[in-house]
Amino acid sequence: MRNGLLSHSHAFCVAVFVTAAFVTTHVLDESLLAQQAQSPPPPVTTAQSPQGAPVNQSAQATPDQAPSSELGNLEAKVQPSAIWISTFDSKGNLSRTESGFFISADGRFVTVAHAIEGGVNAVAKTGDGGIYNVSGVLTVSKSADLAVLKADIKPQKLLRFLDLTKTGELSKGAKVAVVGSALAGNEGRARETIVTAHSSDRLEIAGASGASSVGSPVVNENGDVVGIVTSAGEKTTARPVAALDSILSRVKADTEAGWPQLAEKSPTPHSTPKPRLLFAPAPSFPPGQALPGQSGTGRFRLTFDAQGDVTDIRVVSSTGNPNFDQAAIKTLRQWKSAPSQGWQATVPVTFRTR
């Protein structure tokens, strides 16, 4: 074991059957039981929501909800930059999930200030399945209910982000659109609307919005950000981009991202909390390997860095089948834990047919 790594022993048991697959995972004295059918599930056409996400589950897609061609193109341009931010408290518990959007290639993004209340770390999730560790807060304004944070993005050239409009204030009746994250399902679809009232620090937008719209960008016909939703429901309000520009002016080139809650903590020494797994999918049975009597059990040693990413996987003992080993390694490499001082875990994986 390398210096600086904390070693923890955790048991993860994964069993895959031909007729039925039962997956049991034990993580930090907690257990999760999932059951899957042998044949692949039918395609899912609605986005699934992560735990704690503010999504209206009653929203259903209907033919008349299909956006126009222009609105659909706008949605396709903006939505890849829209994200969900899941914030965790000092005990590793999910405290809240809000929307936001990237504004630069280096991982800077905007959300509402109350999204980070009590948070000591967070992850940003994109609609295409990307999960990024949030290194901290760059600046926050409680009065405007806006915050700018930084996510760890590698490589930066692949990140989609939105430009802030350079034009003046919006006039009453101006056409705009609210575009949320694809993770919000129907609530994330682009909604065309108009500005009903405006001032130097407030926009009122026609029509009701779902809870997941809070933190979403308000854009013009070019996809440039003109505001950010700060209140949803029967009445939708937003901060204009001028208010966001004022907050961004506080961020200097040498500003480092950090978590206010961590800075406020007492320097009194305390025990390091156990790392918490944030994303730990079970390995799938390799295609074409579900033959009668096929089985194999292996043990794999995972090393997590300070950001919670898997940096190394060692085969402690092989399953005896290279296809099983590769399937296990491919999935385990996607695992993600909460930030820590770095740690290791040995994961047993069993493939068995019956």
Q: Are 78 and 179 in contact (CB under 8 A)?
A: yes
Q: Which of 83, 87, 127 is nearest to 107 (CA)?
A: 83
Collapsing DSSP states into helix, strand and coil, what is residue 78? helix
- Mean pLDDT of all residues in 13-31: 35
Banded model confidence at residue 9, pLDDT cuts 50, 70, 90: very low
Name which residue leads in pLDDT, 91 or 206.
206
Amino acid identity, position 259? W
More confident residue, 200 or 75: 75
Region for 293 from its dihedrals, namely left if φ exceeds 0, alpha if ψ lies in -120 to 50, beta otherwise: left
Q: Which residues contact 157 (CB under 8 A, 6 or more apart)?
A: 105
- Name which of 36-40, 138-142, 217-221 the model is least confident about: 36-40
Q: Which of 108-117, 193-202, 259-268 has the lowest mean pLDDT?
A: 259-268
Query: What distances in angstroms separate CA 289 from CA 15, 285, 352, one per listed residue?
Result: 14, 7, 10
Between 35 and 184, residue with greater pLDDT: 184
Across 44-65, average pLDDT: 40
Tokens representing 69 are 């061609």
Mean pLDDT (whole number) for 79-94: 91
346 CB neighbour count, 10 Å cutoff:
17
What gap in Å lies between CA 151 and CA 102, rounded to an integer?
Answer: 9
Answer whether 138's CB lies under 8 Å from 231's CB: no
Q: Give the N- to C-terminal CA distance of the chain in Å, as an integer.
A: 38
Task: State how far the Cα of 67 lies from the Cα of 83, in Å rounded to an integer.
Answer: 20
Q: Report how far residue 71's alpha carbon sits from residue 68's, in angstroms, rounded to the nearest whole number.
A: 5
Mean pLDDT of 265-274: 53
* pLDDT at residue 61 is higher than 80: no
In the chain, the amino acid numbered 26 is: H
Backbone angles phi, psi at 139, to 5 degrees: -165, 155
Angle (CA) 231-236-240 rounded to 5° is 75
Size of the chain, expressed as the number of residues it contains? 354
Could you please report the per-residue DSSP string of 16-30? --SSEEEEEEEETTE
pLDDT in tens, 302-320: 999 988 899 999 999 888 8
Q: Could you give the CA distance from residue 135 to residue 246 in angstroms, rounded to a whole number? A: 22
pLDDT at res. 67: 59
Mean pLDDT of the chain: 79
Domains of the chain and any CATH numbers:
6-28+279-352 (3.30.2420.10), 63-162+252-264 (2.40.10.10), 175-240 (2.40.10.10)
For the CA atoms of the chain, what is the radius of gyration?
Answer: 23
- In tens, the pLDDT along 229-248 reads 999 988 999 999 999 999 99
pLDDT in the model for residue 55: 40
**pTM of this prediction?**
0.58
From 123, 132, 114, 53, select the one nearest 88 (Cα to Cα): 123
Distance CA 283, CA 16 (A): 9
Determine what percent of the chain is predicted with pLDDT higher than 70. 76
